[in-house]
Amino acid sequence: MDIRNIAIIAHVDHGKTTLVDRILHTTKVFRENQDSGELIMDNNDLERERGITIFSKNAAVNYKGIKINVIDTPGHSDFGGEVERVLKMADGVILLVDAFEGPMPQTRFVLQKALQLNLKPIVVINKVDKPNCRPDEVHDAVFELFFNLDATEEQLDFPTYYGSGKNGWFNDSLTEIEGIEPLLDGILKHVPEPVVNEGPVQMQITSLDYSSFLGRIAVGKVTRGSIKEAQQIALVQADGSIKKSKVKELYVFEGMGKRRTEEVVAGDLCAVVGLEDFNIGDTICDIDVPEALPVIAVDEPTMSMLFSINTSPFFGKEGKFVTSRHLRDRLFKETEKNLALKVEDSDSADSFLVYGRGILHLGVLIETMRREGYELTVGQPQVLVKTIDGKKHEPYENLVVDVPADFSGKVIDLVTQRKGEMLIMESKGEMQHLEFEIPSRGLIGLRSQMLTNTAGEAVMAHRFIDYKPWKGVIPGRNNGVLISKNQATTTAYSIDKLQDRGSFFVDPGEDVYIGQIIAEHIKPGDLVVNATEGKKLTNMRASGSDDSVRIVPKILMTLEECMEYIQDDECIEVTPKHIRLRKTLLNEEDRRKQSKSMKA
Whole-number Cα distances in Å, 31 to 26, 168, 489: 11, 18, 55
Do 39 and 48 touch, CB atoms closer than 8 A?
yes
The identity of residue 493, as a single letter, is Y
329 labelled binding-site residue: no
> CA-to-CA distance for 522 and 501, rounded, in angstroms?
6
> CA-to-CA distance for 367 and 374, rounded, in angstroms?
10
Buried b / exposed e over 375-388, threshold 16 CB at 10 Å, is bbbbbbbebeeeee
Which among 120, 148, 124 is positioned nearest to 138, based on CA atoms? 124
390 labelled binding-site residue: no
Angle at which helix 135-148 crosses helix 105-116, to 10 degrees, equals 50
Whole-number Cα distances in Å, 311 to 337, 446, 592: 29, 29, 20
Do 201 and 291 touch, CB atoms closer than 8 A?
no
> CA-to-CA distance for 124 and 139, rounded, in angstroms?
9
Angle at which helix 446-453 crosses helix 408-417, to 10 degrees, equals 150
DSSP 357: S
Do 161 and 135 touch, CB atoms closer than 8 A?
no
> CA-to-CA distance for 47 and 43, rounded, in angstroms?
7
Do 160 and 172 touch, CB atoms closer than 8 A?
yes
> CA-to-CA distance for 446 and 468, rounded, in angstroms?
20
- The DSSP annotation for 21-40 comes to HHHHHHTT-S-TT----SST
18 labelled binding-site residue: yes
Find all residues with CB under 8 Å of 173, minimum gap 6, and list them: 162
The bridge status of strand 283-286 relative to strand 202-211 is antiparallel
> CA-to-CA distance for 424 and 106, rounded, in angstroms?
17
Do 574 and 559 touch, CB atoms closer than 8 A?
yes
Do 84 and 299 touch, CB atoms closer than 8 A?
yes
- The DSSP annotation for 54-101 comes to -S-EEEEEEETTEEEEEEE---SGGGHHHHHHHGGG-SEEEEEEETTT
132 labelled binding-site residue: no
128 labelled binding-site residue: yes
DSSP 337: H
Torsion of CA 408, 411, 412, 417, to 10 degrees: 160
403 labelled binding-site residue: no
Angle at which helix 181-190 crosses helix 16-26, to 10 degrees, equals 100
345 labelled binding-site residue: no
> CA-to-CA distance for 121 and 143, rounded, in angstroms?
12
14 labelled binding-site residue: yes
Annotated binding site for GTP: 13-18, 126-129
Annotated binding site: 13-18, 126-129
